[in-house]
Structure 1
C-alpha cells in the first residue's frame, strides 16, 4: 500500500455541528428548536468551522512528520516475498508421446496462483528411483543358498555380493529426514528408471517405448535432442550450535545414461552434461532443478531385464534388476547419479529427486497493460495493477512521438541518476516503490518527463507473495502453459512432493515506522549491537524469534575478547511447546548470514550461530489446596516451569526469553511453582542434569538443599523432562511413574476367536 498519512482526529465540520447540537439538552434545556438560521445555531457552526481548521492543523503532526521521514530516507515498505517449491510434471493423458518445451510463467492450479519460473521440456516419461541396498550379515547368511544359485545362473566365480533393488522416494513422495543414497547403496550410486507410459496392450509396449525414445532423441518440434529436467532437494541437516555454516559447495557428481555396449547385452554409459545456466540447485547444494542434455535416439538404450535373455541383468556395473516384469518392460533407459571419479564423496542425503521437474513460486505475471497517459508535468506517478512486484521482472515502456514504445529503466533514487546535469535531464528512468506498486517519473532535471498525451505501459511484471502461499505438499493440481512456439500445451498434472516455503507478507506501516530510529542510527550498516539486532530482525524470508549479539566471541574456540569478531546467535520463532527448543536450520542461518554480511564493516569477521542448549530435568512435589482438580494443577505446574525456561517470548523472567548464560537456580523455580493457582505448599524440587543417556541429580550447594545449573555465556537451558507429583517429596529420578493399580503377577490371557 502507498504511504498515506493518517488523521489524528477524523471529525469534520458536520460531525462537530452534530456533536454540539446533541449537547444542547444537557446544558440549555430551554432551547428546544436549534433550527437553521437561529443565532445560536450560527454560533455553533462558527465554532465548528474554527474547530475543523484546528483539527486540520493537528492532523499534520506528529505522525505525518514520521511518515515524511520515511519518504525522505527512501524507506519504502518491504514487498511481500513469494513461497517457492519444486514440483514434478507429467502428461494427464498416457497417449501423449511427444516432447513439449513449455515457456516460463505457466499457471499452476492451487489455492493461490503459482507460476513456473523457467523454460522446461516435459517428456512422456515417469521416473522411479532405486538404490542397490547392500545386504547385512544376517541377510547374507539367510540367503546363502539363493546367492549360490544366482552365481550359477549369472556365471559368477566365487561368492557373489548380493544386493536388494530398493525403491526410494516411492510414488514421488519426499523423505523429509533425507536418505543417504550413496552411503546406503552397495555401489554408491542412485539409479532412476525412465519409464514409458503403459501401452493399451502389452504387445504394443515396444512401440510405445520406441515413440518415447524418439521424443527424447529429437526433442519434439525442435529436431534437437531434448533436455531432461531433474529436480533435486537435498536433506539439509541441523547444524551444530557453533558450526561454521558457509555457502554450500557443489557436490562433484556425474550424471550418466545407459547405452548399448560392444556386445549385445553389455551396458555402457554416456556422461550427460548439465545445460549451462539451468542449474538452480548450485550443484545439488540446495533445492532446485537442472537440465541434462540427452543423446540422440540411437544412443538411448536399456539392457533386457529377463535373466533368461540377458545373463548380465543386474550384475556388476549394470543397472539394478527389477522383479516386476510389467515395469521392467517399460524401462527405456536408466539414469545414474554417482560421485565423480577421484572425488571422495561418501554420502549424499536427498529428501527428493524427480524428473520433469520445475520450480514454481507464488506470483502472477501481468503483461501489455496501459497504466495511464502522461500530462507532461514533472514528478508524475502511475500505479501498477498490483502491489508487491518483483523488481527484476518489471518492464516499463513509455510512448514517444514517432518512435512507438521505448523501454525505461528503474533506478533506486531519481536524485542520484547522474552527476552530469545533461545526462540526468535526458535519462529515461523512473523510481519504483515495489511494495505499493507505484512508478515515479522525473521532473525534467532529475530524470526525463514523459511527453504530453503519451501512454505509459507495463510491458511485463510479476506480482504476488505472502505467507498464505506456504502450502503443504499435495496442494497443487494441474499446469496450464503455452509451448515456446505459442501453441497451448496438452493437459499436464502437477505432483508436489514438498511444501512451498519462504512466503512472507508485505511490511505494514506500523513496522516501517518502527524502523525509522534504527535507520537514522545505522543507515543500513551494522556497527553497534543494536544495529546487528535490528538488521537481523529485518532479514527477508525467515521468521526470527530471538537475536543475541556476542561481540568479540569466536564460536569455534569458545573464546571471548577476539578483536574484530562478532557472533550473532539466531533462533527461529516458535510457539511455546514441550521440548525440543527451537533450533535454526541451515537455510535460516545462511539467509541471516547473507543479510548481515552485506552490511557489516569490511574488517569484521562475522559468525551466525545457533544456540548451545544444556539439558535440564526437573522433579517437583506439591501439596494442593482443597477444591482444585489434581491433574489440572499439576499440568499448570509443568507449564509454568516450561514457560519460565522457554528461550523465546513469553518465557524468561522478563517475558522475553530466558537470559543467555543465566544460571538456573532452584529457588527461582520454587517461586514460580508457588504462584500457580491451587498449589498450597511446595514440598520439594530437584534439578537433574544429563549424564550420558541417564539423568543425575545436581549437587546441593547449601545446607537447605538449593541447586544451581551453571551456564556459560553462550548457553541456554533446555527443559527436556519435568515430573510434577502430589506428595511430600519429589521423585528421585525422572522415569515414568508406575501405575499403582498394576499387579506384578498379571499375565496376558489368549483370546479364542469365535467360529461361525
Structure 2
C-alpha cells in the first residue's frame, strides 16, 4: 500500500464553512441570519469551495518533487532484476576437439505475431571438451577398490558391474582426465539382460559426480536411460553438475563419475543378480551454462560532452542491468586516447581529479560529477568533468530484466548467436527472479526506514532492512543473535546470524530447493552488510531451517456445493496459510519461530466457503529430508530460526 500524500492542510469544504460561520458573531454581530438561503452564506460557501480547491492543489506533492527529496537523502529507485535460468546447448555430434560457447551467447523464445522474442545471454564462457576415460573402479565400501579398467577394453567379454547380488552402496567409478563440469555426457553402454529383478523404468541406481570435500558426491540428472538399468544396449545421457573437482582414488587423481546402487523405496523392485557390462564409450554432446534475461550492446557511442559539470547523457536502451567488471565507460578527449573511467555509486568521496561517473539504471542515464557552490562562495568539484567535445563510448552493457523474463521451461529454443557445431538449445527449468524496476510507491515505503538506518547496521531491524537493500532477490530477512551453548562454545561473542529467504514467484512451487538462498546471494548480502556492521560484530548469513506441515482434514460440505471444488479450495487455503512468503495471519509470510496451533488450522478449514463444518483436523510434523511424519497434537513448536513449509495435505469430504 503506497504512503498517502502529505496533507499540508487537512481542512475540507464543510470545515471551512463551519469555521467561517463561527467567526460571524465576532466580526459581524449584527448578522443573525445564517441560513443557506442568506446571500452572505452563499458567498461563504463560494469562497470555501475556492479555498478547498487551492488546498487540494497544494496538498498534491508532484512526483518530481518527491524524487528530489529522495535525492537529498541519497535514495534512488532500484534497478530491474533479470530472470535467470540454466540453458543447455546440444552439439550436432560429438566433436574430436573442444567447442567453446562464448560468454554473451544469445538465446531467445520463439517470436510470434502477438509477442516479441524474449532474449537471454549466457553469463560466462563454457568449453565442451571430449572426455578421456582413464580408469574404471568397483567398490562396495568406498575404501577398497577393484580395477575394472582392463575389462572395458575386451570386446565381447561381459563382466558384473556390481557384486553377484547387488547391495546398496555398490559403486562403479569412472575416472576422467578432464574437468567435465556442466557437461552433457553420453555413455554408449553395451550390456546384456542379466540384472534381473528390477523395473527397467525405475532401477534403484543413482549417477553421482565428485564435487570436492565440501559438497561431496552430487547426484546428476539423468536425461535419458535407454539401458533399463544396464540391462540392454543403449545410451545414458547425464547432465553433470558444476564444480567438479579432482580426487585421488587408487593412486590416480582424476575427475570421478560413479554409478551407485541406492536403497530402494518401499515396494520398489531391486536387483536379484548383477547386470553385466561389456563396453562403455563416453562422449560429450553438450553443456549447460547459466543465462540471464538481457540483451547485449557492444561499443555504444553516447555522443560528445559539453564540458559542463554534472552533465547527464542517456543510453539508447533502458533499463540497464548491474554492470560487470568488463562493462565500463571510455572517454576520448581531444589530443588524447581512449581512457577507462570508473563507475561509483555516488560522488560523496570523489575528488576533483577522479575520473568517476554514476549510472541510473532505471532511467538509463550516465552522469558526471557536479560542482557545488558552498555557503562561503567557493565551488567544490566532485569528480572530474571531461573536456568539451570529448567522445564517449560504453564498451559493453546489458539491458532488460523484469517479470516478462520469467518464462516457462523449454521455451528458450532459438539460438540467436551462431556457434559452430551447436544444433539445439533449451531451458529445462523455468526462469525465475525477474523483477520490474522499483516504482515510486514502493520507494515511498522504504524511505522512512532509509532515513532511520542511515546505511548503518546497528539494530536487528537495521540488518533486516539492509539485507533487502543488498539485493532485490531477498524476499524476507530475520536477524537473530547466536547464543553460546556454554563455556566451551566456539561461537564468538557478538555473533549475529541473518536468515534470508529468496524471492520465489507466486506461480512457482514452494520447495525446499527454491526456498534455500543460492551461495551467490548469500555472498552478495554478506559483503554488503560487512561494510555496514559495527566493529566487533561477527556476521553469519544463511538460510532458515524448515519444518514440514501436513494436514489431514475431514469436512462436511454444504448442500448444492461441488465436493471436488470445495476439497481443492480447502487444500489451497491451507497451503496459502502456511506459505513462508505470503502466508501467516497477516499475509506477509509465516513468522519466524511462530508455533502453529491446531485450533487456528481448524479455523482456516472452517472459513472456506462451502464447508459446513470441519469434522476432524489433524496436524503432522514432517521431516523435510526423509519425508517421515508424526502426529503433532495440539501444536507444532518451532525455534527462532525455523519456518513452516506446506507439505502434502489430505482432505476428505462428505455431503449432507
Measured against aligned partners, the alpha-carbon deviations of 1:80-113 in whole angstroms (never above 9, x if no partner) come to 3445566666776x89999887876454455333
Measured against aligned partners, the alpha-carbon deviations of 1:249-288 in whole angstroms (never above 9, x if no partner) come to 97389xxxxxxxxxxxxxxxxxxxxxxxxxxxx999999x
Alignment correspondent of 1:220:
none
**Contact 1:396-1:456 at 8 Å conserved across structures:** no
**Distance 1:515-1:688 versus aligned 2 partners, 3 A rule:** closer
Alignment correspondent of 2:393:
458
Matches of 1:252 and 1:681 in 2, distance apart?
Answer: 54
Alignment correspondent of 2:264:
none
Q: Give the deviation of 1:417 after TM superposition.
A: 1.8
Alignment correspondent of 1:339:
247
**Contact 1:553-1:562 at 8 Å conserved across structures:** no
Paired residues for 1:302-451 under 5 Å: 339-340=247-248, 360-387=291-318, 388-391=320-323, 392-403=325-336, 406-418=339-351, 424=352, 426-443=353-370, 445-451=381-387
Q: Give the deviation of 1:594 after TM superposition.
A: 3.5
Alignment correspondent of 1:187:
173
**Contact 1:390-1:461 at 8 Å conserved across structures:** no
Larger mean Cα displacement after TM superposition, 94-103 or 661-670: 94-103
2:417 to 459, 480, 493: 480
Aligned partner of residue 431 in structure 1, secondary structure: strand
Aligned partner of residue 660 in structure 1, secondary structure: coil
Larger mean Cα displacement after TM superposition, 183-192 or 431-440: 183-192
**Contact 1:251-1:285 at 8 Å conserved across structures:** no
Matches of 1:86 and 1:409 in 2, distance apart?
Answer: 31
Alignment correspondent of 2:593:
661
**Contact 2:516-2:543 at 8 Å conserved across structures:** no
Aligned partner of residue 340 in structure 1, secondary structure: strand
**Contact 1:634-1:725 at 8 Å conserved across structures:** yes
Unaligned runs of 5+ in 2: 8-45, 110-116, 142-147, 163-168, 186-209, 221-229, 237-243, 260-282, 372-380
Q: Give the deviation of 1:383 after TM superposition.
A: 0.7
**Contact 1:230-1:354 at 8 Å conserved across structures:** no
Matches of 2:152 and 2:560 in 1, distance apart?
Answer: 77
Alignment correspondent of 1:537:
468
Aligned partner of residue 172 in structure 2, secondary structure: coil
Matches of 2:6 and 2:536 in 1, distance apart?
Answer: 46
1:112 to 118, 129, 138: 118
Aligned partner of residue 598 in structure 1, secondary structure: helix
Matches of 1:708 and 1:647 in 2, distance apart?
Answer: 18
Alignment correspondent of 2:31:
none
**Contact 1:384-1:438 at 8 Å conserved across structures:** yes
Matches of 2:369 and 2:344 in 1, distance apart?
Answer: 11
Relative to the length of structure 2, the TM-score reads: 0.59
Are 2:618 and 1:632 equivalent residues in the alignment? no
**Contact 1:86-1:358 at 8 Å conserved across structures:** yes
Q: Give the deviation of 1:366 after TM superposition.
A: 2.9
Are 2:602 and 1:604 equivalent residues in the alignment? no
Matches of 2:458 and 2:69 in 1, distance apart?
Answer: 22
2:438 to 503, 507, 526: 507
Unaligned runs of 5+ in 1: 1-5, 9-43, 138-146, 165-182, 193-227, 235-248, 254-281, 288-319, 328-335, 419-423, 482-488, 700-706, 729-756
Matches of 1:365 and 1:628 in 2, distance apart?
Answer: 55
Q: Give the deviation of 1:121 after TM superposition.
A: 7.0
Matches of 2:503 and 2:290 in 1, distance apart?
Answer: 27
Are 2:184 and 1:251 equivalent residues in the alignment? no
Q: Give the deviation of 1:552 after TM superposition.
A: 3.7
Matches of 2:469 and 2:422 in 1, distance apart?
Answer: 39
Are 2:497 and 1:567 equivalent residues in the alignment? yes
**Contact 1:126-1:355 at 8 Å conserved across structures:** no
Matches of 1:694 and 1:120 in 2, distance apart?
Answer: 40
Q: Give the deviation of 1:675 after TM superposition.
A: 3.0
Larger mean Cα displacement after TM superposition, 634-643 or 434-443: 634-643
Q: Give the deviation of 1:683 after TM superposition.
A: 3.8
Instruction: Judging by fraction of residues, say which structure has more helix.
Output: 1
Q: Give the deviation of 1:231 after TM superposition.
A: 3.8
**Contact 2:471-2:524 at 8 Å conserved across structures:** no
Q: CA RMSD in A?
A: 5.7
**Contact 1:554-1:565 at 8 Å conserved across structures:** no
**Distance 1:74-1:498 versus aligned 2 partners, 3 A rule:** farther
Q: Give the deviation of 1:345 after TM superposition.
A: 10
**Contact 1:81-1:506 at 8 Å conserved across structures:** yes
**Distance 1:493-1:161 versus aligned 2 partners, 3 A rule:** closer
Matches of 1:555 and 1:609 in 2, distance apart?
Answer: 19
Measured against aligned partners, the alpha-carbon deviations of 1:572-621 in whole angstroms (never above 9, x if no partner) come to 44578999765656553651354135313343333344444445444444
Aligned partner of residue 78 in structure 2, secondary structure: coil
Paired residues for 1:81-230 under 5 Å: 81-83=81-83, 105-108=104-107, 110=109, 111-115=117-121, 162-163=160-161, 185-190=171-176
Aligned partner of residue 655 in structure 1, secondary structure: coil
Measured against aligned partners, the alpha-carbon deviations of 1:651-676 in whole angstroms (never above 9, x if no partner) come to 32233334433333333333333333
**Contact 1:87-1:494 at 8 Å conserved across structures:** no
**Contact 1:231-1:353 at 8 Å conserved across structures:** no
Measured against aligned partners, the alpha-carbon deviations of 1:335-354 in whole angstroms (never above 9, x if no partner) come to x985136799998799x986
Are 2:608 and 1:676 equivalent residues in the alignment? yes
**Distance 1:413-1:161 versus aligned 2 partners, 3 A rule:** same
Matches of 2:643 and 2:628 in 1, distance apart?
Answer: 20
**Contact 2:87-2:289 at 8 Å conserved across structures:** yes
**Contact 2:184-2:285 at 8 Å conserved across structures:** no
Are 2:457 and 1:549 equivalent residues in the alignment? no
Paired residues for 1:711-722 under 5 Å: 711-718=638-645, 720-722=647-649
**Distance 1:540-1:659 versus aligned 2 partners, 3 A rule:** closer
**Distance 1:364-1:447 versus aligned 2 partners, 3 A rule:** same
Q: Give the deviation of 1:68 after TM superposition.
A: 1.9
**Distance 1:493-1:51 versus aligned 2 partners, 3 A rule:** farther
Q: Give the deviation of 1:230 after TM superposition.
A: 6.2
Aligned partner of residue 385 in structure 1, secondary structure: coil
Matches of 1:514 and 1:401 in 2, distance apart?
Answer: 46
**Distance 1:133-1:476 versus aligned 2 partners, 3 A rule:** farther
